[in-house]
Amino acid sequence: MIKKSLRKDFEKVVSKERCWTNQEDLAAYSYDAYPEQPVLPDIVVQPTDYEQVGKIIELCSKSKTPLTVRGAGTNLSGGTVPLSGGCVMLTTALNKIIEINKEDLYVITQVGVVTQKLADAVAKEGLMYPPDPASLKVSTIGGNVAENSGGLRALKYGVTDRYLMGVKFFDTEGNYIKGGGKPVKLVTGFNLPGLMLSSEGMLGVMTELILKLVPPPQAKKTMLVYYDDIIKASQTVSEIISSKILPATLEILDNFTIKTVEKFHKLGLPTDADAILLIEVDGHPAAIEDEYQKIQKICKSLNGEIHIAKSDEERDKLWQGRRDALSSLAMLKPTLILEDATVPRSKVPQMMKAIQDISKKYDLIIGTFGHAGDGNLHPTILTDKRDKDEMKRVEAAIDEIFEKTLELEGTLSGEHGVGIAKSKYLESEVGKGTIAFMKKVKKGLDPKNILNPGKVI
Ligand SMILES: Cc1cc2nc3c(=O)[nH]c(=O)nc-3n(C[C@H](O)[C@H](O)[C@H](O)COP(=O)(O)OP(=O)(O)OC[C@H]3O[C@@H](n4cnc5c(N)ncnc54)[C@H](O)[C@@H]3O)c2cc1C
């Protein structure tokens, strides 16, 4: 429970209308997209300018009130659950695109802008902001930086880190810091934009970003490839990559996921296929034709049946099907646990096989989809938290998925961050020394441990 005097101080900063303390409002900010026990904050505040952000941080720092920054709350690792209560700061009113620069190819934006809105605005100017997490219709661009989010186009265009040129943020004492800038080459001092990437709300509070833009491709070709064997589909992924072809997108959906998407969205996906690959090549028309011919050959050699999207409408439908995978699976059972296992791309077939074996061994429903071209798979366990016996099997299965991922020299999280979800596994991937170093960084930057305490390390 927050002291009355402190609540009044917050109200003075952001106005009474942008401060919430009643139980129903607090409940809305007690959870995010990771199925963790909700924890109520004591107060939720929504600043509308940077000065207010600085003052909120100062208030939290002086009163040692934990501060959880929240964009859209779509993260899948519990990053915005306010574990120690305190203050949740919403960034959603910091929602202005400040400048789209067509000469120097960058956009300056506030952190609360929704990713899709930013992508649409730059597309109107004939440019492209490539990172496209499947959540882009709701996620904020600040959340994308704090999680270093990937997307469907990451295989060719990379993830958020490739586009972050500059950042402005507050430290925990309320100092306003500027890192990076508009030049494409800039090495003056430490890489502060790099520090903010994957910082999961623990090292500073970002307000403004400079993001790199690129010219959009001249043409695209989108294919849907059906397989009667998911291992063959996974082998196709490895073969395409080792043939030195770089599609913009190379996504996989297993049979269970295909059927579930089809059940809810009726997109005409092949429900009898054991797996499908969604492949898109883009670039100069002559180059994409050449890449298409090579990909076609590889798919056919592994018994893939190719269908080409004949119109933009058909193409959009296919991508919508992929983007709807997670939300469709979520409709089947009360609890959904989405994993983020990522392995070197040549090891996708081994990881796929391991997930199938683990699903059988623990008698669990696991739907798998993901960015196969990045080696980034999302085995998704459908369960019910109230079923104690099943949850024991779920935990054992997750442990085994992680063990296999590390055995294959992969990583526990390709894009969803650590938050609460992966913190117990982090040491097994990075080792004690690395955790100790991360703790020193955190302590140096946030000595009172007010920013998102209890997460990651
Ligand atoms: C259906 C669905 C599909 C998804 N698909 C993808 C995908 O394809 N790829 C992918 O990478 N992720 C995906 N995600 C995960 C999620 O959408 C991303 O992590 C996204 O970047 C989170 O953005 P957000 O605005 O919701 O951030 P939030 O969830 O609000 O916050 C995420 C983290 O960032 C911190 N943070 C937010 N804003 C700031 C700020 N201004 N300063 C400092 N810290 C801040 C928070 O404290 C928290 O730790 C998906 C999620 C869902 C629900």
Distances (CA, A) of 82 to 43, 44, 70: 10, 11, 10
Query: What is the C-alpha separation between 17 and 118, in angstroms, rounded?
Result: 27
Query: What is the C-alpha separation between 188 and 193, in angstroms, rounded?
Result: 12
Q: Is 188 exposed, middle or buried (0-12, 13-18, 19+ CB in 10 A)?
A: exposed
Residue 317 pLDDT grade (very low, low, confident, very high; cuts 50, 70, 90): confident
Q: How far is the CA of 74 from the centre of ligand 1 (A)?
A: 5
For position 226, what pLDDT does the model report? 95
For position 4, what pLDDT does the model report? 87
Please compute the mean of the pLDDT values over residues 17-25 and round it to a whole number: 96
State which of 147, 162, 167 you would mutate to test the pocket of ligand 1, scoring each by most atoms of that ligand within 8 A of its C-beta.
Answer: 147
294 located within any domain: yes
For position 318, what pLDDT does the model report? 87
Q: Do residue 334 and residue 223 come from a single domain?
A: yes
Average pLDDT over the chain, rounded to whole?
95
311: pLDDT strictly greater than 80: yes
- pLDDT tens-digit series, residues 137-149: 999 999 999 999 9
- pLDDT tens-digit series, residues 318-367: 888 898 999 999 999 999 999 999 999 999 999 999 999 999 999 999 99
Q: How far is the CA of 454 from the centre of ligand 1 (A)?
A: 18
Neighbours of 218 (CB within 10 A): 12
Q: How far is the CA of 75 from the centre of ligand 1 (A)?
A: 4
Q: Do residue 122 and residue 152 come from a single domain?
A: yes
Cβ(116) – ligand 1 distance below 6 Å: no
169: pLDDT strictly greater than 80: yes
10: pLDDT strictly greater than 90: yes
Q: Do residue 158 and residue 10 come from a single domain?
A: no
Cβ(73) – ligand 1 distance below 6 Å: yes
386: pLDDT strictly greater than 80: yes
For position 3, what pLDDT does the model report? 85
450 located within any domain: no
For position 222, what pLDDT does the model report? 94
- pLDDT tens-digit series, residues 66-88: 999 999 999 999 999 999 999 99
Q: Do residue 82 and residue 103 come from a single domain?
A: no
DSSP class per residue in 339-370:
---B--GGGHHHHHHHHHHHHHHTT-EEEEEE
Q: How many domains does the chain have?
A: 3
241 located within any domain: yes
Q: Do residue 339 and residue 390 come from a single domain?
A: yes
Q: Which run of H or E residues covers position 115? A: helix 115-124
Closest ligand 1 atom to 204 CA: 43
For position 38, what pLDDT does the model report? 95
One-letter amino acid for residue 404 of the chain = K
Nearest to 354 by CA among 403, 409, 296, 297: 403
For position 19, what pLDDT does the model report? 97
- pLDDT tens-digit series, residues 180-232: 999 999 999 999 999 999 999 999 999 999 999 999 999 999 999 999 999 99
Sheet holding 67-70, edge to edge: 19-20, 43-45, 87-90, 67-70
Q: Do residue 199 and residue 257 come from a single domain?
A: no
How big is the chain, counted in residues? Answer: 457
Q: Is 353 exposed, middle or buried (0-12, 13-18, 19+ CB in 10 A)?
A: middle
Q: How far is the CA of 81 from the centre of ligand 1 (A)?
A: 12
Nearest to 86 by CA among 21, 142, 133: 21
- pLDDT tens-digit series, residues 401-438: 999 999 999 999 999 999 999 999 999 999 999 999 99
Domain endpoint, select from 165, 192, 212: 212
User: Which residue lies with its CA nearest to atom 28 of ligand 1?
Assistant: 73
Neighbours of 231 (CB within 10 A): 17
Q: How far is the CA of 71 from the centre of ligand 1 (A)?
A: 7
Q: Do residue 170 and residue 265 come from a single domain?
A: no
Residues linked to residue 20 through DSSP beta bridges, in sequence order: 44
Range of the domain at 25: 4-90
Judged by average pLDDT, the poorest of 166-170, 318-322, 344-348, 379-383 is 318-322
For position 87, what pLDDT does the model report? 98
Domain endpoint, select from 391, 407, 423: 407
Please compute the mean of the pLDDT values over residues 274-284 and round it to a whole number: 96
Task: Provide the token pair at 16.
Answer: 């009474």
pTM for this prediction? 0.95
Cβ(249) – ligand 1 distance below 6 Å: no
Helix (H/G/I), strand (E/B), else coil: 165: strand
219-227 and 275-283 as β-strands: parallel, antiparallel, unpaired? antiparallel
For position 321, what pLDDT does the model report? 87
Q: Do residue 378 and residue 269 come from a single domain?
A: yes
CATH no. for residue 156? 3.30.465.10
Cβ(324) – ligand 1 distance below 6 Å: no
Residues linked to residue 177 through DSSP beta bridges, in sequence order: 169
| Distance in angstroms between the alpha carbons of the first and the last residue of the chain | 26
Q: Do residue 351 and residue 234 come from a single domain?
A: yes
1: pLDDT strictly greater than 90: no
428 located within any domain: no
Please compute the mean of the pLDDT values over residues 292-298 and round it to a whole number: 96
For position 362, what pLDDT does the model report? 97
For position 36, what pLDDT does the model report? 82
Please compute the mean of the pLDDT values over residues 238-254 and round it to a whole number: 94
2: pLDDT strictly greater than 90: no
Nearest to 48 by CA among 88, 12, 15: 15
Nearest to 365 by CA among 256, 276, 275: 256
Q: Do residue 82 and residue 164 come from a single domain?
A: no
Query: What is the C-alpha separation between 200 and 87, in angstroms, rounded?
Result: 16
87-90 and 67-70 as β-strands: parallel, antiparallel, unpaired? parallel
Please compute the mean of the pLDDT values over residues 59-65 and round it to a whole number: 97
Nearest to 222 by CA among 93, 288, 308: 308
Distances (CA, A) of 309 to 251, 280, 316, 319, 325: 15, 10, 9, 11, 19
Residue 100 pLDDT grade (very low, low, confident, very high; cuts 50, 70, 90): very high
Domain endpoint, select from 179, 195, 212: 212
Q: Which run of H or E residues covers position 388? A: helix 388-407
Nearest to 382 by CA among 311, 326, 314, 300: 326
